[in-house]
Amino acid sequence: MGCMFWYRFGMADSRSISERLSKLPPGRHLVPRDFVAQNQRERMLLATAELVAERGYQKTTIELIAKTARVALVTFYEQFADKEECFLAAFDENVAAAREVFAELLDPQQPWPDQIAAGLEILLEMVVNEQARAKLCIVEAQAAGGTALARYQAMLESVAPKLREGRELNPRAERLPEGLEVAIAGGLAWLIHQRLVAGRVDGLKELLPEMLQVTLTPYVGEVEAARAAQAAQARAAA
Amino acid sequence: MSYLNGSGRGRDPARERLSAAIVDLVGSHGFSAIEIETLCERAHVNRGHFSRCFADLEDCFLSVHDEVAADFCARVTSAHEAAATWHDRIWAAGWAAMRYLQEDPVRARFLLVAVNGAGSGAQDRRDRIMQSCADLLDGGRGEAGKRGPMSRCTAEIAAGAIYGTILAKIESGAIERGEEFLSELIYMAVMPYLGSRAAEDELAVQPLH
């Protein structure tokens, strides 16, 4: 599972940033125009993630993105109207890639608490191994203007249906707050946000049991949640 | 409205007008939408006076944000300290926070929403408010008994959940009806510590009655 996940999300990529951003050979070649444009676009999006993670959205300029991606300024403007559009494209692409990973790795036949445990485990793997992309989606998306903030909120809301399935396990589910699932997603994202800002993601995976405990408690109660958290702890220790 | 109480500066009516104007403009339109000229015009202050008070627009925003945040935190902390038990302190702090946000929704937007688009200095300030909130919640660990793994991170998750909910309410204009969802915020605050059943009981509390 791990290998496939890394492959899909590029986590096992040990190349340096400049290697990852290597451009096609200069001069005329027989590579189709669409392929070149796609390659340039990918380089610009990757450069945006790396730069934004390092300098923050405000201090990232179009010139820097173009220079880091090794494309001409005119090429940037062929693909994006401005920095915000480029940032939003990078955000969308990374969120879509993460969604694909979840769709592929989560087994909807598993008991719901196990799916949540697996989902959180996958999320933390992604954050730890792809910090620049995580920072773009979780930290900088909140700093890059109204549209980015709305997409960040939409990302949190997209998690709600999966969490909401847990209401079937609580016989008093009708009492639960309507916005509970988005609130939990926001709380978990906030914890990750804080670790990314502080550059302390190494110990993040150790927080899985605690994150799981808080996430499951409203649906299965604190005793069952603690049991699931201890199981996650045991898995991590093993 | 003055945001300069207790700042130690001599009273400067023009600076106070600039403070009120930036809260109003940024709270209404966002930080990126305003310029120094617009701000000076709104405050009836000339550009030279602005420059004597602040280095630039960001400095102005951050200075005034510090003052509003200090005002907000003082109100919440004072309510928190006045109650006897952790549970009552959480209710008192929640109620005080809600009242503060309700009484001036534009100021609420300035304090908690506008920081998101105003650079890293502003975000640091937002994070400090959140850490203060997590500090208050973290006292719940003493109430929790043995409920599985629990560190300060639980308080951070709860603080993040509460912040996200408040943000959504401010954005949708629902903050003015804060008493309708205060119990939901209390639910998020106590659920990790007191358990799901006790947290659900909080939802039945009608704070206004």
- In tens digits, chain A (238 residues) has pLDDT values of 333 333 344 444 545 444 555 555 556 666 677 778 889 999 999 999 999 999 999 899 999 999 999 999 999 999 999 999 999 999 999 999 999 999 999 999 999 999 999 999 999 999 999 999 999 999 999 888 889 989 999 999 999 999 999 999 999 999 999 999 999 999 999 999 999 999 989 889 999 999 999 999 999 999 999 999 999 888 877 7
B83, two tokens: 């109650």
Set of chain A residues whose Cβ sits within 8 Å of the Cβ of B119: 56, 58, 143
Q: Across the interface, do A218 and B191 touch by the CB < 8 Å criterion?
A: yes
Instruction: Tell me what ipTM this predicted complex has.
Output: 0.87
- Is A145 or B185 the better-scoring residue by pLDDT? B185
Residue B163 has pLDDT above 90, yes or no: yes
Tell me whether B188 touches chain A (CB under 8 Å): yes
Single-letter amino acid code for the residue at A188: L
Residue type, A2: G
Distance from CA of B190 to the nearest CA of A (A): 11
The overall pTM is greater than 0.95: no
Query: What would the pLDDT profile of A55-103 be if each residue is shown by its tens digit?
Result: 999 899 999 999 999 999 999 999 999 999 999 999 999 999 999 999 9
- A33: distance to nearest CA of chain B, Å? 37
pLDDT at residue number A134: 96
CA A45, chain centre distance (Å): 14
Q: Which of B15, B168, B196, B206 is nearest to A213 (CA)?
A: B196
d(C-alpha B77, C-alpha B136), whole Å: 9
Q: In chain B, which residue's Cα lies nearest the Cα of A232? A: B149
Res. B11: pLDDT tops 60: yes
d(CA B18, CA A156): 36
Sign of CA dihedral A26, A30, A33, A37: negative
Tens of pLDDT along B60-97?
999 999 999 999 999 999 999 999 999 999 999 999 99
Where does the pLDDT of residue B207 fall: very low under 50, low under 70, confident under 90, or very high at 90 and above?
Answer: low
Partner-chain residue, chosen from B158, B168, B203, that has the shortest CB–CB distance to A187: B158
> Higher model confidence: residue B208 or residue A229?
A229
Task: Say how far apart CA B76 and CA B161 lie, in whole Å.
Answer: 18
Q: With cut-offs at 50, 70 and 90, classify the pLDDT of residue B148.
A: low
Tokens describing residue A38: 């796609």
B37 vs A10, higher pLDDT? B37
Give the helix ranges, DSSP H, for chain A: 2-9, 17-20, 33-55, 62-69, 73-79, 83-105, 112-129, 131-134, 146-164, 180-198, 208-237
Angle between helices B57-82 and B36-43 (to 10 degrees): 60
- A156 and B187: CB-CB below 8 Å? no
When pLDDT is cut at 50, 70 and 90, the band that residue B121 belongs to is confident
Asked if residue A65 lies in contact with residue A76, where contact means CB atoms within 8 angstroms, the answer is: yes
Write out the DSSP string of A48-106: HHHHHHHH-STT--HHHHHHHHT--HHHHHHH-SSHHHHHHHHHHHHHHHHHHHHHHH-
What pLDDT shows up at residue A19?
54
Please tell me if residue B158 touches chain A, with a CB cutoff of 8 Å.
yes
B178 touches chain A (CB under 8 A): no
Q: Chain B closest CA to A211's CA: distance in Å?
A: 7
Sign of CA dihedral B142, B143, B145, B146: negative
How far, in Å, CA of B112 to CA of B121, rounded?
A: 14
The DSSP output letter for B56 is S
B189 interface with A at CB cutoff 8 Å: no
- B196 φ, ψ (degrees, to nearest 5): -70, -40
Which residue's entry shows tokens 């102005």? B60
Contact B185, B165 (CB under 8 A): yes
Contact in structure between B181 and B174 (CB atoms under 8 Å): yes
pLDDT at position B208 over 90:
no
Tokens of A63: 């010139």
* Residues in chain A, overall count: 238
- The C-alpha atoms of residue A87 and residue A80 are separated, in whole angstroms, by 9
Work out the average pLDDT over B105-129.
89
> What's the alpha-carbon Rg for chain A, to the nearest Å?
20
> Taking residues B20-33, what's their average pLDDT?
93
Whether the predicted pLDDT of B123 surpasses 50: yes
Tens digits of residue pLDDT in A168-189: 999 999 999 999 999 999 999 9
A186 and B151 in contact by Cβ < 8 A?
Answer: no
Contact A213 B148 (CB under 8 A): yes
